[in-house]
Amino acid sequence: MTIMHIKSFFLMILMGIAIGLFIGMLDSMVNFINFESYKIINLLVFLVFFIGVYWSVSFHRSKIGRGIISYGSALKNTLFIGFISSLIIAGVRFTYLKYIVNTDINTILDQTKKTMTDHYSLYNEELINNRLSFIEFSYDPAVSAFLYFTYYMLFVIAFAIFASIFARRIDRNISI
């Protein structure tokens, strides 16, 4: 492995960590001020995440690849930076739920049950109980972190396939 490969590898790790920390803290802040139910804010968090990943690959292409990167390399770099970011986001989520926020799961379950029974009379008791069981299961910090990692990685894979088309640049200099 050359010095350039090592430099490239560490640069991608640092970019992934920076994106993951920023998005993880942004998501935690949105959750803390109780804005997580606003769909537009969640979409903005994802948009910032994708812009960060794409910018990182473009920066890598410009600084390390001298402006040239194949589709395969762009795909690999996008997946790698997205993987590192997703790990960090999951770690921030775990830390937030485990050590920062004091979530009273019983209050959440009571509020959810009340909302479901008041507003959605079509829900039967079994469906309500299934929903409440899932909420209780998903609020465990480790489970929530795993779900966040999986959620972000699914989007990273889809994004990487599409965005790598735009990130790639080939050398069109055919002179000898």
Domain assignment present for 18: yes
Domain assignment present for 112: no
Domain assignment present for 37: yes
pLDDT of residue 31: 83
How many angstroms separate the CA atoms of 13 and 36, rounded? 28
User: Does pLDDT of 87 surpass 90?
Assistant: yes
Band the pLDDT of 149: cuts 50, 70, 90: very high
Domain assignment present for 62: yes
Domain assignment present for 21: yes
User: Does pLDDT of 159 surpass 80?
Assistant: yes
**Residue numbers of the domain that contains 9:** 3-103+139-167
Domain assignment present for 127: no
Domain assignment present for 175: no
For tokens 């998501």, what's the residue?
27
Domain assignment present for 15: yes
For 62-83, the pLDDT digits (tens) are: 877 777 888 888 899 999 999 9
How many angstroms separate the CA atoms of 130 and 113, rounded? 11
Task: DSSP letter for 169, please.
Answer: B
Mean pLDDT of the region 85-100: 94
What total of structural domains would you count in the chain? 1
Question: Residue 82: is it exposed, middle or buried by C-beta count within 10 angstroms (0-12/13-18/19+)?
Answer: buried
